[in-house]
Amino acid sequence: MALSQVDVCNLALSRIGGHGISQITSLGEASTEARQCAVKFPYVLASALRAYPWHFATKEIVLALLGCGAAEHFLENDIFYRNLHYYQYPEECMRILALNPAAGKKGNHFAPVYDYTVERISDGTKAIVTSCPQAVLTCTSYSEDPSIWDSLFTDAFAWQLAGELCLSFGGALDTVRTLREIADRAFEKAKSRDCGEEAADIYCSKYLEARK
């Protein structure tokens, strides 16, 4: 059964316990529970997605080129800086997994991975800086639709959200601590199952093996 954000929030609310906590029908409704869920849901989700390269959230993005060459004029004659490319950092990217010059490479497999740095350029824009031409980013993306989540991730996320909500509602610190400990164990289980879904015989480049 496909779950919605409201379903996940209600699961988290039910795990807090206590007679003063009510279920919600919408994140936009005028209740304390809905307001707290609307605030906490994206924050907790971003943290959970960034913490691990989840398969269900892995995505390839063709990067938008901002410019090439040296960012500062006094470096224009340096051959290293002349070969640099500056790409827009995708807003939906939670965690960079790899950078390749073509789509379909799926992270570290089948092709060498280019080095990169993430920095702010002169106008304040967050950019990915690399020598890779026509770069394609493999990343963990912000996947806010629970219907595409792995069921074990959903379970762990609901426990983590319950801990944050309990703290916001003034719950006992022992209860908050217990919810967070359960979330940690649930995430470890989810990670174990997630990493086990990758085929063992996928080819990994000799370039990457040499760097290990």
Tokens of residue 90, six digits: 């995708």
pLDDT bracket for residue 203 (50, 70, 90): very low
More confident residue, 167 or 102: 167
Residue 50 has pLDDT above 50, yes or no: yes
Helices (H), the chain: 5-16, 32-50, 79-82, 151-168, 173-195, 206-211
Look up residue 101 and give its DSSP letter.
S
Q: What is the pLDDT of residues 118-151, one digit of tens each?
A: 998 878 889 999 988 889 999 999 999 999 999 9
Report in angstroms the alpha-carbon separations of 28 from 6, 25, 31: 10, 9, 8
Considering the entire predicted model, what is its pTM? 0.80
Degrees to nearest 5, angle at CA 21 with 16 and 22: 125
- Distance, first Cα to last Cα, the chain: 41
Long-range pairs for 183-191 at CB < 8 Å and ≥24 separation?
183/156, 183/159, 186/152, 186/155, 186/156, 186/159, 187/48, 187/51, 187/52, 187/156, 187/160, 189/152, 189/156, 190/150, 190/152, 190/153, 190/155, 190/156, 191/52
Q: What is the pLDDT of residues 94-109, one digit of tens each?
A: 999 988 887 665 555 5
